Structure 1
């Protein structure tokens, strides 16, 4: 089964003139019982924050939080001692564990920051909070799937607390890729940039597909420069 999630149908919220956010799954004041998550994948928010704007300190618990910067700079600080500024192509992981306070602000006073924030439910509760960052690596933009998060930290990925793997790929115009799918797992394909043909469907930035009980290889072809995320999740 292939589940279609058009980006144009996502939840949408603005705040204070500095935040423009689209929600793939129910979040905040956006509630849709049809879109509460996908397995342990609970949140994909596409956020644009104006220069100088940001989220003041607030709390989280028992959630794996990944922030993936598409453009600009994102500054983070948390009560567990984690913090830093990440730029385009960088990924930040915060495991909220038994509870943590953190803030996220645009790292620039003038230029916007565009990023995806992902929440994944952990495989354990009330663990100590943890934080790490992954910088861009040579070959990340070579047109191959790059593992950026995993349960075991394989291939230099961020070691998260769930049986989930997150892959990222950057494709040039006209480039294509195949990815084997295991029918015993579920997958979520999210288009971060560009337009692609995936599973015989035209997808644009913000669009997504979910795969359940699918064992046929996934074929993706880029109509122009494109960037995609693929979540490999427990069934």
Structure 2
């Protein structure tokens, strides 16, 4: 049984003229062989984009890409013919499958845009690319917004939960838990303590990955 705290100040940051990205795991120029992921979770990035800034069209394959918008608005288009504007409180799951291209850019009319994006390894390579979105209510306590009976994630036993927490919360029943507080920027990685109660020093907005 382990609980490891990763303070916001310990995470590497990539800075570009139109964006700033804070990484929870080894990523790009911040290669760290000791921090390649947590279970099937291989990327967990916190992005702040300037209006119109972000990521032009680029490819992905064999990833489950989950995006949660915190502020502003994110313009997303993909090679499946989809185009949408993701606003705060919106979750999107894109299964890259055998291959897609997509773009993600801050909406020009909405000011800076902040979103968290996670990449999860799917159960099997290939597959048919897809995309789904929802705007669940997460005002009090943790709510499951992806995995299980919520938006599909192509990784069995993976689920994503979001909720505003005042001080204490009981975490999901799973042997691997990755907990990120979007207010403080701190994160916890918890092994073999399913249903653990977590106490916060101040109210937080928790984004939780649970892996069975």
How would you bin the TM-score normalised by the shorter chain?
over 0.9
**Native 8 Å contact 2:171 2:194 kept in 1:** no
2:169 aligned residue (167, 177, 193)? 177
Counterpart for residue 159 of structure 2: 165
1:215 Cα offset (Å): 4.5
Counterpart for residue 218 of structure 1: 197
Inter-CA distance 146–180: structure 2 relative to 1 (3 Å threshold):
closer
Give distance in 2, aligned partners of 1:217 and 1:110.
38
Counterpart for residue 9 of structure 2: 8
Give distance in 1, aligned partners of 2:80 and 2:102.
9
1:229 Cα offset (Å): 1.3
**Native 8 Å contact 1:176 1:222 kept in 2:** no
Give distance in 2, aligned partners of 1:53 and 1:158.
28
Counterpart for residue 103 of structure 2: 103
Normalising by the residue count of structure 1, what TM-score does the alignment of the two structures yield?
0.84
1:186 Cα offset (Å): 0.9
Task: Mark the runs of 5 or more structure 1 residues left unpaired by the alignment.
Answer: 194-204
Deviations 1:79-103 (A, max 9, x none): 0122201111101111100000100
1:109 Cα offset (Å): 4.4
Q: Secondary structure at the match of 2:182?
A: strand
RMSD: 1.6
Give distance in 2, aligned partners of 1:109 and 1:14.
22
**Native 8 Å contact 2:136 2:145 kept in 1:** no
**1:232 aligned onto 2:210:** yes
Give distance in 1, aligned partners of 2:35 and 2:117.
17
Counterpart for residue 77 of structure 1: 77
Give distance in 2, aligned partners of 1:95 and 1:72.
24
Give distance in 2, aligned partners of 1:95 and 1:177.
30
Normalising by the residue count of structure 2, what TM-score does the alignment of the two structures yield?
0.93
Q: Secondary structure at the match of 2:9?
A: helix
Deviations 1:63-92 (A, max 9, x none): 000111010100100001222011111011
